[in-house]
Structure 1
């Protein structure tokens, strides 16, 4: 596919499901992560201070009946970045996502995709490529039924084994 729509457009076109797989222990530099590491905490009561267009896109999709699931495969002990992600996952949950965590040592016998990804309605996959230090490199779309089905099946195996957010504790 030559032109890759933005995430918001892909999600707006989803009718049944959107699943997201994240497998890195750290991602590119993020000012909100840096602030958290410096001691700043979200004022969850002041929704306007943390609610972003992404959260609204998720909430709108959920309101249309789209089930959105996110699975994160993480090394333990977790990195500071993962500790921050766990903390800020409340925003994902409030937007309507379901989130689970799978410790990497519990995933060793699964065949895992090579990159982070989103799958929309089990038919279209957006793959995210990162550099070794977690910087964003590129994205691509895949609509090959065989490839998308393989990745969707991998996601389901991960999801079944993963721990729901409210049961996963980070130290």
Structure 2
């Protein structure tokens, strides 16, 4: 899906932590204070760059607690490499997300026609996904995307105005 979409790949991230992040080598590097920037050899970065150069858009909105959890702080740091690769990542405080009625589960929306909803356990382990092209579900995803995008701040702006303890 991440190579075959035609125009846009958009994600809402709602979890306080993801097991896949904790289990990655980047987690320890981040704990050691290493900068997690763009790496053209990293498969995600390489694909985002290739898709962006082809005129496609990768976008996401991350819901961030106040103060951010360790998992969210990791994503704020590691997300800078994704942004440098060409992904537009924005962030919104959880209180604002709740006030605006954003859902409490993650999903990807591809080309405003395919919705992929994630299921996680309490530790952030992915249990599975549901994939649908059902029109009312996709329309709902498009509405959530538009609402979240309108209220979220670009990563650099969010980080500039939001300290890890705020």
**TM-score range, shorter-chain basis?**
0.7 to 0.9
Matched, 1:15 2:6: yes
Structural RMSD (CA)? 1.8
Aligned position for 1:83: 73
State which of 114, 124, 127 in structure 2 corresponds to 1:137. Answer: 127
Aligned position for 2:30: 36
The Cα of 1:35 is off from its aligned counterpart by 3.1
Alignment TM-score, normalising by the size of structure 2: 0.87
3-state SS in 1 of match to 2:99 = coil
3-state SS in 1 of match to 2:103 = coil
Q: Deviations over 1:111-135 (max 9, x none)?
A: 3234211111000111211101111
Alignment TM-score, normalising by the size of structure 1: 0.84
State which of 143, 149, 155 in structure 1 corresponds to 2:139. Answer: 149
Tell me: CA distance 1:44–1:117, structure 2 relative to 1, closer, same or farther (3 Å).
closer
The Cα of 1:75 is off from its aligned counterpart by 0.9
Q: Does structure 2 conserve the Cα–Cα contact (< 8 Å) formed by 1:27 and 1:135?
A: yes
Q: How many residues align?
A: 158
State which of 17, 29, 48 in structure 2 corresponds to 1:26. Answer: 17
Identify unmatched segments of 5+ residues in structure 1: 1-9
Q: Deviations over 1:92-116 (max 9, x none)?
A: 1121000110001112222323421
The Cα of 1:41 is off from its aligned counterpart by 0.5
